[in-house]
Amino acid sequence: MLKKITDILAGLPATIVSGVFLLLDLVPHLIEEFGGTPVFLFLLPFDPAWVTVFISGIPLLYLAVWRIIHNPGISKISSALLITIAMFAAIAIGDLFAAGEVAWIMAIGAILEDMTTNRAKKGLKKLISLAPTQGRRIKDGTEETVSTEEIRKDDVLRVLPGETIPVDGIIISGETSVDQSIMTGESLPVDKTVDDTVFCGTINRFGAIDMKATKVGEDSSLRKLIRMVQEAENKKAPMARIADKCASWLVPVAMIIAIAAGLITQDIVRAVAVLVVFCPCALVLATPTAIMAAIGQATKHGVIIKSGEALEKMGKVDTIAFDKTGTLTYGRLEVSDLIPCDSSVSSDTLLQLAASADAKSEHPLGKAIINSAKKKKLSLTESDEFRMTTGKGISAKINDDVLLC
């Protein structure tokens, strides 16, 4: 129950309300500073900063206490504990604005960090949506549709063209081409035949195949990939933890200096000022803000960053090697050159014949040839006896001539 309340108070709507009341407390002070009289202040029966302290301070206090109870060793001392001490010290001397300010800044930092995490998790949600939910199982000569949870190791499955492969396995009959871009980044389908391995989540593009399941459920390649991304996204960037890393010595040092300042000056306000100044508010805000901005900018340019840790490591990279079509290119194949081996055949004639032969093909290379012919407005001839052989190409009969592509 308490956790639900703190989650509501730490949310964006509550934090906005908290900021508004903090501003209501700041405005009268500014008016008084310039010699004015904040008339509307007297209309409120309480100091507006109390609302900020309540909304943003309770989640802060909960976090500090939770870490003291549950965290091991020195990690019990966190930046949340130091800011909580400073907040209560400011309340003790009646400086409610300072108390509300440090609590509100901490709340803003937490929201920015959550926004960063949510942006990174969009890629994970997309990945999870690609996980197949059912497959065709062959049992006692009968084909039945079952959920992926019911599929067991060594089950025989049938995958038709256009369907997603439900589990990892080995082809036992049939030939096809499989789109493995989700796993490998390859933009072209990979030809597969008997005894070849196929992976969960990849797409069967052409022929029907029968396969034997080898890895099912959480052992499948796609599930392992999802778990890997989840683990990566749950890690904070090392720099994002710097405030908590420093807190183990920052809290004792701040307390010692604050006590010393109070004893020497005999002024408790100075002691509290030391605590407030020591609060790592800049660290709490700076890192999640920078990470969120970087991930947002990268997303605009089509780059998905899975975690703050990955982003931080990228900052230390001085060399990048790209090996996949579709990484630096659009992944759309195009005909670049036409070189006839027979000088009596023009390039347009060669392209026309090749496109006519590939007109019934679904292969990306064939489609690229057809698109090139269409751009040149070449007329295509209907083919007969079209045949596709996985891994070898196609054959087609055009005007009594057999063409091989």
CATH (domain of 223): 2.70.150.10
Rounded to a whole number of angstroms, the distance between the first and last alpha carbons of the chain is 68
Determine which of 25-39, 263-277, 347-361, 363-377 has the lowest per-residue pLDDT on average: 25-39
Question: Is 323 considered catalytic here?
Answer: yes
pLDDT interval class at 171 (50, 70, 90)? very high
Which residue has 């070449």 as its token pair?
Answer: 378
The answer to whether residue 170 scores a pLDDT higher than 90 is yes
Same domain, yes or no: 51 and 114: yes
Instruction: Report how far residue 384's alpha carbon sits from residue 31's, in angstroms, rounded to the nearest whole number.
Output: 88
**Coil, strand or helix at 151:** coil
The answer to whether residue 215 scores a pLDDT higher than 70 is yes
pLDDT interval class at 212 (50, 70, 90)? very high
The residue among 107 and 117 whose pLDDT is bigger is: 107
pLDDT digits (tens, 9 = 90+) for 264-278: 888 888 888 887 777
Q: How many domains does the chain have?
A: 3
Assign residue 364 the CATH number of its domain. 3.40.1110.10
Write the single-letter amino acid at 136: R
Residue 163 lies in a domain: yes
Greatest alpha-carbon pair distance for the chain in Å reads 107
Question: What is the residue range of 380's domain?
Answer: 347-404
Average pLDDT, integer, range 373-383: 83
* 157 within 8 A of 166, measured Cβ to Cβ: yes
The answer to whether residue 377 scores a pLDDT higher than 80 is yes
Residue 110, pLDDT score? 79
* Final residue in a domain of this structure, among 271, 288, 304: 304
Determine which of 10-14, 172-176, 274-278 has the lowest per-residue pLDDT on average: 274-278
For the chain, what percent of residues have pLDDT higher than 70?
Answer: 77
Residue 129 lies in a domain: no
Residue 7, pLDDT score? 80
Same domain, yes or no: 292 and 256: yes
Same domain, yes or no: 182 and 213: yes
Same domain, yes or no: 16 and 116: yes
Residue 212 lies in a domain: yes
Same domain, yes or no: 117 and 246: yes
List phi, psi (to 5°) of 332.
-105, 115
Write the single-letter amino acid at 387: R
Identify the top-confidence range among 146-160, 212-226, 273-287. 146-160
Same domain, yes or no: 225 and 245: no
pLDDT digits (tens, 9 = 90+) for 290-322: 776 777 677 666 666 766 677 778 888 888 887
Same domain, yes or no: 69 and 108: yes
**What pTM did the predictor assign?**
0.53
Residue 300, pLDDT score? 64
Same domain, yes or no: 104 and 51: yes
Same domain, yes or no: 155 and 219: yes
Give me the catalytic one of 323, 337, 400, 401: 323
Residue 74 lies in a domain: yes
Same domain, yes or no: 152 and 251: no
* Final residue in a domain of this structure, among 203, 229, 255: 229
Same domain, yes or no: 143 and 285: no
